[in-house]
A and B are shown apart, each in its own frame.
Chain A
């Protein structure tokens, strides 16, 4: 193996590539065998496409590597992070499978910007879906390297060798063997995964697809797991930042005298940043509350009531995301036409851990602990703030207490960095719950307009679909419809900003399964409305209008488990169905609800979710994620909606912004179907997207009331009951 040079794009604005040879790299990481690889979602779509590297000046075109150390232990280094989705458990399983080692011998280092190569961030189920196959390929390649070395060492031809349990054996004489540790001993081999070694077939799996205990369980059950707010450093100060009453508010008068009198408190004013630091976080907060401040508020023209009128008017022209046949032709074939408008609210991420960061500055270097889904983005923003080179900032990832798309940027790390610089001490900034609601990048409120028609035989003949402000994902329908059109207007806000043309009163951003919740709600409600109007059972109606066999299979699997019996809706049984295709994961959800006619409260009694995600790498983990999605989905379906007036966010805590609770817990049953022939899809998010529609459809079946707007609050349910009777 030659010592070829790696070309490294620099991150400091200088375009001359740095080079680093393999030996230098291995010096950084010790001896052994290293395989670099790149996973599909290296780059966040909003980021410039230039790749960046960690401080080590590593090769450029990879975002992960694995190392077989001289002691035989295997380490996976990746810029991905653990936010509860189980990455730290699942990724080592995949690696162990292809490398032929026991999972216990695999360590994983996540999101450390000095040790791990650049990564754009961890978003939802992307980790398994796009990271998994390249990781497995790299592990398989490492196995090939080891077998080649073994062949030399044992003097046995390759085809007579077999790798198993961290060693290579002569198939015919198993006592002739050499361990990976022995093979890695004294070696300094670095390879980039290039070949496409054959991956194992599901039938050959030894560890993937079998239950595996979470690696973080013990630490989380004993309080040992450290989150950003749990980092304690000598001299640490706690900073609390003054939050304006509304976005766009302008500071008029400021009186910090009372706060300054609090012993040990220091008031910091640095441009737009007004904060109090103290050695006790609660004292800092109490002192902050003593600051007297007046603002000029922006006009309070928009609120949570008139927002849809505004968004409809402000929606930019669209583009066709999917099209087939001719809508006018289709309309001629229709015996029955249905036209509806669906509304979905702004919702908050509301992770239980608020945004938190600790920054410590030493000379021209800084160390950052941040609750973020994007450690490299945190590194870059802190470097920019402190005006130091990116490679001088080291982000260390603690556990993250939930992200759901809300922790992609690290504004709190920037605040902590500014305060650390000014005070000359390490500073922690942990947002209060009210800060968290205020600065959140909400899932955008959205509108879907659908006009469709069915023939006298119950076939959908045309489908004219328009989505405003939610974005494209899951808007393409998968039914067998000859004439259809899907138009997307007002793109999803991406990584921040107020959407296309600034249509939203505050920043919006990704929220678990961006866009898909809205599009699936609208589509699957509309399908049900057509079925009801045609007097056909909603499952039969779907089956008759589907030609995709995988979708039919998952629908039947759910119906089987649920014990679905055909009836025309409303059947007064309170049952509902919804189907979805989320980036290759197929699913059907069925639910049973009870509607209290006097209060308008909906109780979801039972949910069956059937999911076909290729092969579940860790079925236990997948079930846990499905259950989590179902519980989280109850929130946006029934209560969650951001209240606002002008650019003021009225929700300050969980009293007005209601999250799902234990008393809401339905009986949950899950069915996982294997589809070995399809690539492994992610399981972290899909089941959340059907929750709005399946409950709306079940509410209609229970009561005859059809809700076209989420969340289905008791008031809205009562109103709909009133108009349906």
Chain B
């Protein structure tokens, strides 16, 4: 049951010959060697595996790879452009919004997708937007701060 699937991955075109029913998470991590996207639960409960599909944050553990055909996928590895980190990455580093770091990729990717849709989120918007992401180390407070700062930075506004 091999399918041929073409899509854009981190701004490059990719052609895959895989079983299209396999989940994107495993194809990314194994076939494509992009291990920044993590497995935390496999059933959509933790957000560790989040990637952007056409800009939309998507848990890749439950997303069959055939569904990415013709679409654009961005993973944590694809956020930096021309050697410059994405402002959300910068903000996570600045606010130390991580401990063990296992949830961090998924959080950053979600925040990037979320800010694209809602560039001026309130604190309540951020909490709601990040609700499906679990962090056992308890970095929530820093993550919220980082997203607040990234939001104000990306708009060029002065942080309040």
Task: Tell me which residues across on chain B come within 8 A of A83, comparing CB atoms.
Answer: 100
Scan B74-98; emit 1 where CB is below 8 A from any A CB, else 0: 0111011000010001001100101
Known: A223-B36, A668-B141. A433 touches B100 (CB 8 A): no
A84 B104 Cβ-Cβ under 8 A: no
CB distance from A627 to the nearest CB of B (A): 5
A223-B130 Cα distance, complex, nearest whole Å: 19
A665-B41 Cα distance, complex, nearest whole Å: 22
Task: Tell me which residues across on chain B come within 8 A of A216, comparing CB atoms.
Answer: 98, 101
A662-B92 Cα distance, complex, nearest whole Å: 16
Known: A221-B85, A352-B102, A433-B43. A624 touches B139 (CB 8 A): yes
A281 B136 Cβ-Cβ under 8 A: no
Scan A608-634; emit 1 where CB is below 8 A from any B CB, else 0: 000000000000110011011111100
Q: At the interface, yes or no: B26 with Cβ under 8 Å from chain A?
A: yes
CB distance from B150 to the nearest CB of A (A): 12
Task: Tell me which residues across on chain B come within 8 A of A227, comparing CB atoms.
Answer: 38, 102
Q: At the interface, yes or no: A326 with Cβ under 8 Å from chain B?
A: no
Task: Tell me which residues across on chain A come within 8 A of B41, comparing CB atoms.
Answer: 433, 653-654
Known: A84-B100, A400-B100. A665 touches B141 (CB 8 A): yes
Q: At the interface, yes or no: B66 with Cβ under 8 Å from chain A?
A: no
A665 B85 Cβ-Cβ under 8 A: no
Task: Tell me which residues across on chain A come within 8 A of B85, comparing CB atoms.
Answer: 221-222
A282-B37 Cα distance, complex, nearest whole Å: 15
Known: A433-B40, A653-B45. A225 touches B101 (CB 8 A): yes
A220-B98 Cα distance, complex, nearest whole Å: 8
CB distance from B90 to the nearest CB of A (A): 8
CB distance from B116 to the nearest CB of A (A): 18
Q: At the interface, yes or no: A182 with Cβ under 8 Å from chain B?
A: no
A662 B39 Cβ-Cβ under 8 A: no
Q: What number of residue pairs across chains A and B have CB atoms under 8 A from each other?
A: 173
Which of B35, B36, B101 has the most A CB atoms < 10 Å from its CB?
B101
Known: A281-B26, A662-B140. A401 touches B134 (CB 8 A): no
Pick the contact of B96: A351, A400, A624 (CB < 8 A): A624
CB distance from B68 to the nearest CB of A (A): 15
CB distance from A276 to the nearest CB of B (A): 15
Pick the contact of A221: B98, B126, B133, B144 (CB < 8 A): B98
CB distance from B7 to the nearest CB of A (A): 18
Interface residues of A in 689-715 (CB under 8 A from B): none
Q: At the interface, yes or no: A85 with Cβ under 8 Å from chain B?
A: yes
B26 A280 Cβ-Cβ under 8 A: yes
A629-B108 Cα distance, complex, nearest whole Å: 22
Which of B36, B48, B76 has the most A CB atoms < 10 Å from its CB?
B36
Q: At the interface, yes or no: A663 with Cβ under 8 Å from chain B?
A: yes
Q: Please name 10 further chain A to chain B contacts, defined as beta carbons within 8 Å, in addition to the given A230-B35, A662-B143, sorted by A numbering.
A: A217-B98, A219-B101, A225-B101, A229-B35, A352-B135, A430-B39, A433-B43, A624-B96, A624-B139, A661-B134
